[in-house]
């Protein structure tokens, strides 16, 4: 917006050399399968080969994603086991993520909203590859899929306009962190920065960076801004053990199942969970 001509030579050079973090494939599944019986719990599964992590991550960034039949690395999580009040009594929801390089999707960077057949076919093949990988940890899951959807770097570009679909802002390499990262006060008067490319990435990193930047603008400390509110009480319940759940939560779990028609009768549920 300012125009590159108005930036210092140092900043122009820094922008030119900035590298962005990797992007991802994110598979969303709904399955009619008992995930607990299949061996999952509320925790996450990280699939990694037993080899040098640096070599492995470099391999993951290869451009040809169809060169092998399964992904060597993947993250799997079952959201309906983390939050039992979201489980309808029959269907579980899963997320599976693998990290990739944007170049594997570069040829689709100008996709119109009406996606091309080539893009959809590519997506389908990658989705199958992710499911084949998942099968190794959760046998037979492919026979229980009732809904599947894949998010790609193009999806990230569409929804959040992240550079080359990156998921974590700037790459967190030595030359781009700490004193070498973009700072919250920019060289442009009254332009302050926050988010995943400043302090640290992810929801936590971006949030803390927001508080720190606000503190800088307000000439105070981050601690001055984070105040405990006695009216707000965070409660954390153990996903694996329902014995301590309060009545309102038991009722919510029962209602969710009854509403979908896959749970016990609502009157029965209320009786069992008074």
Ligand X SMILES: Cc1cc2nc3c(=O)[nH]c(=O)nc-3n(C[C@H](O)[C@H](O)[C@H](O)COP(=O)(O)OP(=O)(O)OC[C@H]3O[C@@H](n4cnc5c(N)ncnc54)[C@H](O)[C@@H]3O)c2cc1C
Q: Which residues sit at the interface with ligand X, rule CB under 6 A?
A: 24, 26, 151, 156, 160-162, 167-169, 195-196, 201-204, 206
Taking the complex as a whole, the smallest distance from the CB of residue 198 to ligand X amounts, in Å, to: 8
How far apart are the C-alpha atoms of 236 and 246, rounded to whole Å? 11
Q: How far apart are CA 217 and CA 52, in angstroms?
A: 44
The token duo for 20 is 């962005």
Q: What is d(CA 201, CA 23) in angstroms, rounded to the nearest whole number?
A: 13
- Which of 71/168 has CB closer to ligand X? 168
Q: Which residue is nearest to ligand X (CB)?
A: 195
- 222 vs 47: CA distance, rounded Å: 37
- What's the rounded Cα separation, in Å, for the pair 267 and 262? 14
Least distance (Å) between residue 204 CB and ligand X: 6
What is the distance between the terminal CA atoms of the chain, rounded to a whole angstrom? 60
Instruction: Write down the least CB distance from residue 169 to ligand X, Å.
Output: 6
CB of 90 to ligand X, least distance (A): 26
**Nearer residue to ligand X within complex by CB, 78 or 206:** 206
Print the SS3 string covering 203-237: HHHHHHHHHHHHHHHHCCCHHHHCCCCCCCCCCCC
What secondary structure does DSSP assign to 173-204, as a single string?
Answer: -GGGSGGGSPPSB-SSTT-B--STTTS--HHH
Nearer to ligand X, 60 or 255 (CB): 60
Strand 23-31 to 74-78 pairing: unpaired
Tokens of 17: 């050399």
Q: How far is CA 47 from CA 25, 133, 138, in A?
A: 15, 9, 12
Instruction: Report the nearest approach of ligand X to the CB of residue 239 (Å).
Output: 17
Nearest distance from C-beta of residue 97 to ligand X, angstroms: 7
Q: How far is the CB of 233 from ligand X (least distance, A)?
A: 24
Residue closer to ligand X by CB (options 202, 246) is 202
Specify the residue, 87 or 99, whose C-beta has the smaller distance to ligand X: 99
């Amino acid at each position: 917006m300012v125009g590159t001509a108005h930036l210092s030579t140092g900043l122009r050079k820094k922008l030119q050399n900035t590298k962005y973090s990797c992007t991802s494939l994110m598979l969303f599944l709904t399955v009619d399968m008992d995930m607990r019986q299949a061996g999952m719990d509320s925790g996450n599964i990280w699939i990694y080969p037993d080899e040098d992590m640096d070599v492995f991550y470099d391999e993951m960034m290869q451009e040809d994603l169809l060169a092998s039949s399964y992904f060597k690395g993947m993250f799997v999580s079952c959201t309906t086991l983390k939050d039992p009040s979201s489980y309808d009594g029959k269907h579980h929801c899963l997320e599976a993520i693998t990290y990739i390089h944007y170049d594997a999707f570069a040829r689709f960077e100008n996709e119109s909203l009406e996606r091309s057949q080539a893009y959809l076919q590519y997506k389908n093949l990658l989705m199958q590859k992710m499911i084949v990988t998942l099968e190794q940890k959760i046998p037979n899951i492919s026979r229980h899929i009732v809904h599947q959807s894949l998010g790609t770097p193009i999806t990230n570009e569409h929804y959040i306009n992240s550079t080359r679909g990156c998921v974590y802002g700037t790459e967190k390499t030595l030359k781009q962190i700490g004193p070498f990262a973009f700072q919250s006060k920019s060289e442009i008067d009254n332009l302050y920065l926050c988010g995943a490319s400043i302090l640290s990435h992810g929801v936590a990193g971006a949030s803390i960076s927001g508080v720190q930047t606000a503190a800088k603008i307000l000439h105070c400390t981050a601690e001055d801004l984070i105040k405990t509110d006695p009216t707000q009480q965070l409660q954390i319940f153990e996903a694996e053990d329902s014995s301590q759940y309060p009545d309102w939560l038991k009722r919510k779990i029962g209602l969710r199942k009854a509403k979908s028609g896959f749970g016990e009768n609502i009157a029965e549920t209320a009786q069992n969970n008074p």
